[in-house]
Amino acid sequence: MSGPRLLLDEMLSPKIAAQLRERGIDVQAVLERRELVTYPDEALLELATREQRILVTKTVVDFSPLSQQWAADGRSHSGLVLVSTKTFPEARDWIGAVASALAQASEQGQLPGVGEVVWLSRQPNTRQPPGAAFERG
């Protein structure tokens, strides 16, 4: 596998990771690595950064300010993908929709780089520079 490496936080199903792996994407889910389930948000972002993985999360209210704080402190993470429940309402097709959008973003080079944040979209992603203000999703 080549290309971006992802880490799905505990709010995202390992089924999403399985679908992405079927598409050749290097991805792990926190729920597949039980020791990570109790990690505080900052420790999880630090781990993702050490492992050079882009963190994918629905927990916008926690990770948006954390990313801004890191930028203010001159720290960089490996990238952050925010999943909005407005864009991806939790319905029967939610797992497939999120997996497809992540796969498409990966294929089209729309995943974030170091220190960047993107909102996962059904359309091309909107990048946010480090420390940018975020709308709640």
The residues that bridge with 43 in the sheet, in sequence order, are none
pLDDT higher than threshold 80 for residue 108: yes
Q: Is the pLDDT of residue 135 over 80?
A: no
In a domain, 137, yes or no: no
φ, ψ at 35 (rounded to 5°): -65, -15
| Average of per-residue pLDDT across 68-93 | 93
- Residues 6 or more apart from 92 whose CB is under 8 A from it? none
Q: Using DSSP, state whether 46 is helix, strand or coil.
A: helix
Query: Within a domain: residue 95?
Result: yes
Rounded Cα distance between 54 and 51, Å, is: 9
By residue range, what is the domain housing residue 116? 5-128
Which pLDDT does position 132 carry in this prediction?
44
Domain total of the chain: 1
pTM of the model: 0.87
Query: Half-sphere exposure of residue 13, counting CA atoms within 13 Å on the CB side?
Result: 12
